């Protein structure tokens, strides 16, 4: 790479977008620009740098060794720009701009909507985006600014904080139990249809709930928690459900509460480079506090029902 090279910040933003999406079309969508324009900027940056930054193939744009080196410095510049913009507003001001939060399906559907609505109400200039994905959110590719996870990641330049524990129980609809009889002991589960995740799409062992019960066959499977609970509500069988989701499904009731009881945890995962951002720290703090309080509130409702 040429010494003394001066790179325009806009070119660096384009470079980072392509590095994260590994395609011109993906970067174009991220930046709201035509892919051809993105391609021209990358070609110009490579020409000015005198080196190849991406290895092009039918599978997309993979970083070259030189490109991987540039990413580190480009991300430092990105963080410096964010810090500079935050300094203009000063600490203590209402949050503004856009923040994207990734989360697993259950959390994204039953917790984050009300949690983020409250944060948005207190910060009217803030745009919050929730990304619900049936897999681990890739923060390195900037799929989100931060993510909720069910297992703390052990790799990458990430900051991890535990948010709260939550609980799961086996549930069935009242109509199902009325038709098939009460379930009073583990043996009563034998031969009953079970609802759960698609086995080969379970991306975290913490989500393999039915394996802990010794279940070998999942009669109805989906990678979506609301779909699973909808099936259970229709009387199609039994499934493991988050206690915090049950207030939204009053037709479901817990069974074998003493014998079948799982505890899991949520973790907030962030880019380590964002730890010096007052804006991100304040949002993360509000998110952790509100999320923990919402889990506790919803679980109390179920415990009292």
Would residue 172 count as lying in a domain? Answer: yes
Would residue 76 count as lying in a domain? Answer: yes
Would residue 217 count as lying in a domain? Answer: yes
Burial of 64: CB neighbours in 10 Å, binned 0-12, 13-18, 19+ = middle
Strand boundaries in 152-219, DSSP class E: 158-173, 194-196
Same domain, 250 and 272: no
Would residue 1 count as lying in a domain? Answer: no
Q: Does pLDDT of 194 surpass 60? A: yes
Q: Report the DSSP beta bridge partners of residue 264.
A: 166
Same domain, 220 and 259: yes
What's the whole-number average pLDDT of the chain? 88
The CATH number of the domain holding residue 226 is 3.40.190.10
Average pLDDT over residues 293-297: 96
Q: Which residue segment(s) compose the domain that 76 sits in? A: 9-88
Would residue 54 count as lying in a domain? Answer: yes
Is the pTM for the entire model greater than 0.85? no
- Which is more confidently placed, 221 or 97? 221
Average pLDDT over residues 132-156: 84
The number of domains in the chain is 3
Q: Given this model, what pLDDT does residue 273 score? A: 79
Average pLDDT over residues 95-103: 92
Give per-residue burial for 256-274: e unless 16+ CB within 10 Å, then b.
beeebebebebbbbbbebb
Average pLDDT over residues 180-201: 92
Q: Band the pLDDT of 88: cuts 50, 70, 90.
A: very low
Average pLDDT over residues 63-77: 83
Q: Given this model, what pLDDT does residue 214 score? A: 83
Would residue 111 count as lying in a domain? Answer: yes
Would residue 3 count as lying in a domain? Answer: no
The CATH number of the domain holding residue 69 is 1.10.10.10
Give dist(CA 165, CA 149) in Å, integer. 12
Same domain, 293 and 204: no
Would residue 2 count as lying in a domain? Answer: no
Q: Given this model, what pLDDT does residue 86 score? A: 54
Average pLDDT over residues 7-36: 87
Give dist(CA 274, CA 33) in Å, integer. 26
Question: Looking at 88, 117, 144, which one is the last position of a domain?
Answer: 88
Same domain, 259 and 244: yes
Q: Does pLDDT of 42 surpass 70? A: yes
């Amino acid at each position: 790479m040429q010494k003394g090279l001066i790179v325009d910040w806009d070119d660096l933003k384009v470079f980072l977008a392509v590095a994260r999406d590994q395609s011109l079309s993906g970067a174009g969508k991220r930046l709201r620009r035509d892919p051809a324009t993105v391609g021209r900027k990358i070609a110009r940056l490579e020409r000015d740098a005198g080196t190849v930054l991406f290895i092009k193939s039918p599978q997309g744009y993979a970083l070259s060794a030189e490109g991987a080196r540039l990413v580190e410095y480009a991300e430092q510049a990105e963080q410096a720009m964010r810090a500079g913009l935050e300094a203009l507003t000063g600490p203590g001001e209402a949050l503004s701009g856009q923040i994207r939060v990734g989360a697993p399906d259950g959390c994204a559907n039953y917790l984050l909507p009300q949690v983020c609505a409250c944060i948005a109400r207190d910060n009217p200039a803030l745009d919050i985006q929730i990304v619900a994905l049936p897999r681990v959110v890739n923060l390195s590719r900037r799929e989100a600014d931060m993510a909720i996870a069910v297992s703390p990641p052990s790799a990458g330049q990430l900051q991890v904080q535990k948010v709260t524990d939550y609980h799961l129980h086996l549930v069935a609809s009242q109509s199902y139990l009325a038709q098939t009889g009460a379930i009073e002991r583990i043996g009563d589960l034998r031969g009953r249809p079970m609802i759960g995740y698609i086995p080969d799409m379970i991306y975290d062992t913490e989500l393999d709930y039915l394996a802990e019960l010794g279940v070998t066959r999942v009669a109805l499977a989906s990678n979506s928690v609301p779909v699973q609970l909808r099936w259970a509500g229709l009387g199609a069988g039994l499934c493991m459900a988050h206690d915090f989701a049950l207030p939204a499904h009053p037709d479901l009731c817990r069974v074998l509460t003493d014998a079948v009881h799982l505890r899991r945890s949520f973790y907030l995962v962030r880019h380590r480079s964002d730890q010096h951002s007052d804006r991100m720290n304040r949002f993360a703090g509000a998110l952790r506090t509100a999320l923990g309080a919402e889990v506790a509130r919803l679980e109390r409702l179920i415990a009292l029902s």
